[in-house]
Amino acid sequence: MTSTIEAPRSPYTRSSKKSSVNWEKWGWIYMRVSGVVLIVLIFGHLFVNLMVGEGVNALNFAFVAGKLSSPFWMVWDVLMLWLALIHGGNGMRTLVNDYATSRISRGILKIAILVSVVALIVLGTLVVFTFDPCPAGAPADLVASFCKTL
Amino acid sequence: MSTATIDQKPAVPEEIKSFTVTLIVRRFNPEVDEEPHWQDFDVQLYPTDRVLDALHKIKWEQDGSLTFRRSCAHGICGSDAMRINGRNRLACKTLMKDLDVTKPIYVEAIKGLPLEKDLIVDMEPFFDSFKEVQPFLVAKSTPVDGKERQQSVAQRARFDDTTKCILCAACTSSCPVFWTDGQYFGPAAIVNAHRFIFDSRDENAAVRLDILNDKEGVWRCRTTFNCTDACPRGIQVTQAIAEVKQAIMRGKA
């Protein structure tokens, strides 16, 4: 009896070991999705800060403190922070992959990008969630109006 | 009876003027040179002459050692892709009248592939990527009437654009990702995969999509459109790559 053996569905490709998660694919999808979301987040942020009401003149410590005490803006800012930093970090990673020729310089640059992205994300998230809008002893004309009632 | 005389002289076509063009060619002789160097040539040309004619004039009348590939000289064989004034073009399809001849014309070999001599590069890495995407029809089933696999006009039109590829490597060697990472499949291989992935007669689309889903596959494309600009056949290369990306995300062609 003769039988034909089917060719394997995937022949050997240049990367011999295949990881189960295709990071390049998900990285590409992440760039597209986060890009669209960031357009809304960043332009919404700029519109509210610079154009609504008094416009850019309203910007001071009290304005920012007021925004960072509202759960809506906390979520908005944290989303913007995470999405933008990972988006930028991944973009820098692809640039390094494209233009750093030696293995060592590529590794150093990518680790530097990772460290700075992680540091900025941790610091930024910490600021957003632990921010005290009414520091003790601050003059009343510099802090948000609701501090008096506290 | 009067004799007919010619009042007017027959119209003589206006003489087409030739002009001197300076070509600066990047020369490299591996037996003598350590590094490639630029050499300039003055050539007398007509506006209807092509860059290939200029190279012929140099090779036949000035310097026989100038080395370049060409076969059909009519934009079909894809042998004479080169970088002309910084853009990848076929020398046989680039007319003098379309270039600014008041300035020198820079001609060099395409980038990203090993330079062998003058305008000749080693095309093997390019063809290796091409071979890896299985650029041939795979159909194990028997056709309906046992003779031929029929296709509607719409099914044929789906991949018509990518059938035009002549494998000149102008697109792949214009790609900045390919310049720095020769492991990347490159636009030409993806175009030729696209030609079969979207062919209704072909049965191996899933395998080709698997191959191109690789770390060095379609995801390395940055949509810079250099390839679309470089293609001498006018193939919408970047669009074809985007269609393959979509097909990988959907999991089928």
Residue A52 inside a domain? The answer is yes
pLDDT score at B238 = 96
Domain span at residue A43?
A: 29-147
Using CB atoms, pick whichever of A13, A29, A97 lies closest to residue B211.
Answer: A13
The torsion angles phi and psi of B105, rounded to 5 degrees, stand at -105, 125
Spell out which residues of chain A touch residue B211, defining contact as CB-CB under 8 Å.
10-11, 13
Residue A136 inside a domain? The answer is yes
Residue A21 inside a domain? The answer is no
Q: Work out the pLDDT band at B2, boundaries 50, 70, 90.
A: low
pLDDT score at A40 = 96
Does B141 reach chain A within 8 Å, measured CB to CB?
Answer: no
Residue A38 inside a domain? The answer is yes
Q: Please state the pTM of the whole predicted model.
A: 0.82
Q: Which residue of B has its CA nearest to A102?
A: B180
Spell out which residues of chain B touch residue A15, defining contact as CB-CB under 8 Å.
214-216
Contact between B91 and B53 under an 8 Å Cβ cutoff? The reply is: no
Tens of pLDDT, residues B160-189: 999 999 999 999 999 988 988 778 899 999
Tens of pLDDT, residues B61-98: 999 999 999 999 999 999 999 999 999 999 999 999 99
pLDDT score at A56 = 83
Least confident of A80-89, A97-106, B133-142, B200-209: A97-106
Using CB atoms, pick whichever of A10, A24, A101 lies closest to residue B219.
Answer: A24
Residue A54 has pLDDT above 70, yes or no: yes
Residue A41 has pLDDT above 60, yes or no: yes
Does B120 reach chain A within 8 Å, measured CB to CB?
Answer: no
Domains: count for chain A: 1
pLDDT score at A134 = 80
How far is the C-alpha of B189 from the C-alpha of B180, rounded, in Å? 17
Average pLDDT value for residue range A37-58: 90
**Which ipTM value was assigned to this complex?**
0.70
pLDDT score at B4 = 66
Residue A51 inside a domain? The answer is yes
- pLDDT > 70 in chain A, percent: 85
The DSSP string of A13-60 is: -SSSSPPSS-HHHHHHHHHHHHHHHHHHHHHHHHHHHHTSTTGGGG-S
Residue with the bigger pLDDT between A95 and A110: it is A110
For an interface test with B, the pick among A25, A32, A92, A103 (most B C-beta atoms closer than 10 Å) comes out as A25
Spell out which residues of chain A touch residue B207, defining contact as CB-CB under 8 Å.
9-11
Least confident of A23-32, B6-15, B96-105, B196-205: B6-15
* B25 to chain A, closest Cα gap in Å: 27
How far is the C-alpha of B82 from the C-alpha of A77, rounded, in Å? 50
Least confident of A22-26, A89-93, A139-143, B131-135: A139-143
Does A102 reach chain B within 8 Å, measured CB to CB?
Answer: no
The end-to-end CA distance of chain A, in Å, is 89
* B57 to chain A, closest Cα gap in Å: 39
Does A149 reach chain B within 8 Å, measured CB to CB?
Answer: no
| Nearest residue to B95 via CA among B110, B75, B115, B113 | B75
Q: Which residue of A has its CA nearest to B176?
A: A98
Chains A, B: CB contacts within 8 A come to: 44
Tens of pLDDT, residues B143-162: 888 788 889 999 999 999 99
The torsion angles phi and psi of B151, rounded to 5 degrees, stand at -140, 140
pLDDT score at A10 = 52
Q: Work out the pLDDT band at A16, boundaries 50, 70, 90.
A: very low
Q: Which residue of A has its CA nearest to B246?
A: A29
Does B246 reach chain A within 8 Å, measured CB to CB?
Answer: no
pLDDT score at A9 = 54
Residue A100 inside a domain? The answer is yes
The torsion angles phi and psi of B174, rounded to 5 degrees, stand at -105, 0
How far is the C-alpha of B232 from the C-alpha of B66, rounded, in Å? 24
Pairwise CB contact (< 8 Å): B219 & A27: yes
Least confident of A127-131, B107-111, B113-117: A127-131
| Nearest residue to B66 via CA among B75, B57, B79 | B57
Does A27 reach chain B within 8 Å, measured CB to CB?
Answer: yes
How far is the C-alpha of B169 from the C-alpha of B226, rounded, in Å? 12
Contact between A42 and A84 under an 8 Å Cβ cutoff? The reply is: yes
pLDDT score at B172 = 95
pLDDT score at B143 = 85
pLDDT score at B230 = 96
Q: Which residue of B has its CA nearest to A16?
A: B214
Residue A16 inside a domain? The answer is no
Residue A54 inside a domain? The answer is yes
Tens of pLDDT, residues A74-88: 999 999 999 999 999
Pairwise CB contact (< 8 Å): A28 & B180: no
Spell out which residues of chain A touch residue B215, defining contact as CB-CB under 8 Å.
15, 22-24
pLDDT score at A55 = 79
Find the CATH number of the domain harbouring A80: 1.20.1300.10
